[in-house]
Amino acid sequence: MQAIKYMRWSSEKQSKGSSFARQTRRIDEMAAAQGWPIVDTVVDEGVSAYSGANMFEGGLAKLRERFVREGGSNHVLIVEQLDRLSRLDTVTVIEFFITMTRTGLTIALADSRMIIDATSLRNQTAQLEEIVRESHRANREGQVRADRSSGAWQTMREEGRKVHTSSTCPAWLELINDRYDFRIREDRADVVRDIFRWYSDGMSKRNIARKLNECKIPPFRGAKLGWQPTAVVALINNRAVIGEYQHQNRKTGDKIGDPDPAYFPPIITNEEWQRAHDPRQKKIMVGRGREIHHRNVLQDLAYCQKCGWRMRMNRKTARAKASYVTTYLQCSNYDLRKGCDHRKMHRLDYIEAALLDHILTHALDDQVWSDETAVPALNAKLANERRELDDLSTRLANILSELERRPSERVQARRDALEAEEDALLARITETEAALVMARGAVTPQEHIRRVAEIRADMGRDDDEGLKARKTIKLALNDIIDRIDIGEDGRAHVRVKSGLRSITIHPGGEVWDYDFIHRGRDLPVLDCAMGDYVRRVTA
């Protein structure tokens, strides 16, 4: 028979150790003793048998597919011992042996010199019992190792000892005192803080990467490639910036234990983290791609009335005056020639100006301006509570995974306690949000209108203030507008989320504005700003 040598080990350390040499020696000795020429070698390096990765995804999985497809007659698969094949449960291991031997393949275990084929499995009870015993032992040993790893880490955490087992750490930190402490690398920490600030102000990850490269700021890793959007988003989503560490299995990625919320020194406040991960922020950033300045504040709101697809922004430059650019909205379905014949382009500036005249003072509530002394403290309190809620959610997810693997009353009790803690925290968050609304209070109609006029004037600027103004207006419009349907006749029908108001913008800017809840308040165009404020504060 022709022999195929199969070797496996779980970690990189074993790759550099004696595992390879020992497995090779034992397999070669058995092949020589039986007179089997070795024609092939399959190695699963750094692959776990306890998770089944080798059997379902690795080299062993490919061998099984090959023998099932081509047959295994006149071939013998030699392994050092059974746990090199699998540490899964006994039933899975027996099914594997039955599947492989039915193809005609023979399997040999070098340590016990056991030779297994379809006939021996069927007729030798002692051999089957030995396979059952060995597979059970291998599975239990894998479980003990996993428990020992997670248990040791959890114990060190509970004792307040540092658990950093690697020579590496987040790129904005460095290890000191024999890897017991961390020190912030302020130059890199400042880069991370800039990234969070730019992203919160509405800059896309692509443009953040471009700005960093233009400023000649070297990336933390991979200097030849420069900053990439993937590196930017990885930093924004890395909870280590707020000090959190989640222990994981390096091979499987499975989480071990609960996250430690104060493991690393934080370089981003909870408030800054929450601002960057505001669901409204994510909504307006989806698909922003290369756009940096939020030029189209109606993006994601304007739709073609005929086919229902989104309207995209087109820019047209006047031939006589190259510096004069006009922006239009056009059906993206027509633009891609995907079936819609709504080809007309509609002036974006007309629709935008008329809409902002009639709805901006309603859309922008007092939370846009937060200079009051109480508001910053409440914002920070709310950010801390939301951070605590994130931590609780992670801990609950870990416990649910543990319950699926090993149901127990103790784990169930932990889950019940955490769910009660989560309910109490949600109640506190609700109270803080209500207090924040009260702290912001209300201003006079004249002051509110003055503030709205200022932020609208800033829209045209090309600096950071302009970017901030456009983002603020974009968020405010998204909060109260469901969609804007634009017809071939040029009329834009604005659907307000409450359903209590209807706005129709005609070509050229004429507006029909209906208030269904407060009839009689449909004011003429000249009074629209004050009318919107009245609607806002009395609705």
| Domains along the sequence of the chain with CATH | 2-149 (3.40.50.1390), 162-291 (3.90.1750.20), 302-366+447-538 (no CATH), 373-440 (1.20.58)
How many residues belong to the chain? 539
Question: Which candidate, 482, 458, 454, places its Cα nearest to that of 468?
Answer: 458
CA angle centred on 461, ends 230 and 194, rounded to 5°: 35
Residue 293's Cα: distance from chain center in Å? 24
Query: What integer pLDDT is reported at residue 249 of this predicted model?
Result: 64
State whether the Cα torsion 407-413-418-424 is positive or negative: positive
Instruction: Collapse the DSSP code of 31 into the 3-class scheme (helix H, G, I; strand E, B; otherwise coil) and give the result.
Output: helix
Instruction: Collapse the DSSP code of 27 into the 3-class scheme (helix H, G, I; strand E, B; otherwise coil) and give the result.
Output: helix
pTM of the model: 0.44
Residues of the chain with pLDDT under 50: 12-17, 148, 160, 283-294, 367, 371, 519-539
Q: How far apart are the two ends of the chain, measured CA to CA in Å? A: 87
Q: Are 192 and 265 in contact (CB under 8 A)?
A: no
Exposed e or buried b for every residue in 177-206, given b needs 16+ CB within 10 A?
eeeeebebbeebbebbbebbbbbbbbbbbb
Q: What type of residue is 354? A: A
> Residue for token digits 């890793």?
221
> Residue for token digits 């690398």?
185
Q: Are 386 and 425 in contact (CB under 8 A)?
A: no
- Nearby residues of 72 by Cβ (< 8 Å), 6 or more positions away: 100, 103, 104, 105, 106
CA dihedral 243, 244, 249, 253 (to 10 degrees): -110
E strands in 10-154: 38-45, 75-79, 106-109, 114-116
Q: Rounded to whole angstroms, how far apart are CA atoms 88 and 105? A: 21
Query: What integer pLDDT is reported at residue 67 of this predicted model?
Result: 92
Strands 325-331 vs 346-347: parallel, antiparallel or unpaired = antiparallel
Integer CA distances (angstroms), 96 to 30, 63, 89, 301, in order: 22, 12, 11, 55
Query: What integer pLDDT is reported at residue 305 of this predicted model?
Result: 93
Q: Rounded to whole angstroms, how far apart are CA atoms 346 and 302? A: 11
